[in-house]
Amino acid sequence: MKAQLYEVNHTTTYHYHSPVTVSHHLLRVSPRRLPRQFRLSHAIETDPVAATTSLRTDYFGNDVTFATIEGAHRRLRVTSRSRVAIGPAFIPDPSETPEWESVRGLCRSDRSSTALEAVEFAFASPVVPLGSDFADYAAPSFPRRRSILEAALDLTSRIHAEIQFDATATTVSTPVREVLEKRRGVCQDFAHLELACLRSLGLPARYVSGYLETIPPPGQPRLVGADASHAWVSIFCPGMGWIDLDPTNNCLPSMRHITAAWGRDYTDVSPIRGVLLGSGEHTLSVAVDVAPLGVMQVSPSAG
């Protein structure tokens, strides 16, 4: 398989207003190993150096690093460095996917392990509610007997066209209904809105976090550190598995999207979460660099 090779550097820096004596952090910044995504190397560095670290896998299969920082410090820098090779995604002909009503019905009646795993993503989650307002917004994309991928692509396109990307309009705590009302937000909001719409119709859909290679305007150099962590959604299609959709960019993710984690919504996959003893006030800066390194040949065993 030919795959695009990337080097991904993700640096998060906290500046505390007064000294912190000890802090504990959960880090979900390691790219997942997937059939078409090959994690060739990964390392996490902290400054100050962590007193202890441990690795575990969470409920959704994401790698989670637990780190403890001891000793008074007013700044914490966490850097994740990865090399990942991404192969092309399988994208079925939308017209050949099952009708969306049959997918909803199957997820309600099928008791196979695959369907049971999928249906967990059909319910409300901590920041993605269900409601008739979301179902009504989705309805024009989901007429009777339309194939699920055709319908989901139409919804993705509408969200992309009708919601304005605005980095100042929302925060991580902005309710999804406010995003629908004001029609502004960032990739996290686009993803949460599409999840609310799909789940309000009874369809399983999950939140995916990761990275996206950005391409500079023609004639402009690529800016190191200008990339950002990204979010998109994935819908369940019986017989075909999960299919990714990116409403922020109105595309089907393939070789430029790097998956780090997935869950019900952002609260399940936030890159860094922690508790600390000391200053509760801080400023935060994040820099992500996704550098393409060329195309390489990989075998399935490399993942």
Residue 105 falls in which region: left (phi positive, over 0), alpha (psi -120 to 50) or beta? alpha
What is the percentage of the chain residues whose pLDDT exceeds 90?
79
The predicted model scores a pTM of 0.93
Residue-wise DSSP of 22-39: EEEEEE--SPPPBTTEEE
pLDDT at 45 > cutoff 80: yes
| 29 and 167 share one domain | no
| 33 and 52 share one domain | yes
| 202 and 181 share one domain | yes
Q: What pLDDT is recorded for position 225?
A: 52
- Non-local (6+) Cβ contacts of 138 within 8 A are 155, 197, 198, 200, 201
| 175 and 286 share one domain | no
Residue range 150-193, pLDDT digits in tens: 999 999 999 999 999 998 999 888 999 999 999 999 999 999 99
pLDDT at 301 > cutoff 60: no
Question: Considering the domain boundaries, does residue 70 fall inside one?
Answer: yes
pLDDT at 302 > cutoff 90: no
| 107 and 221 share one domain | yes
Residue range 192-221, pLDDT digits in tens: 999 999 999 999 999 999 999 887 777 777
Give the total number of structural domains in the chain.
2
Task: Give the domain CATH number at 24.
Answer: 2.60.40.2250
Which residue did the predictor score with more confidence, 255 or 225?
A: 255
What is the domain extent for residue 189? 94-253
| 127 and 82 share one domain | no
| 242 and 105 share one domain | yes
| 137 and 208 share one domain | yes
| 80 and 189 share one domain | no
Which range (17-31, 100-114, 141-155, 249-263) has the least confidence?
Answer: 100-114
Question: Considering the domain boundaries, does residue 259 fall inside one?
Answer: no
Question: Considering the domain boundaries, does residue 263 fall inside one?
Answer: no
Q: What pLDDT is recorded for position 299?
A: 73
C-alpha pair distances (Å), 268 with each of 35, 80, 98, 208: 22, 19, 29, 10
Per the prediction, the chain carries an average pLDDT of 92
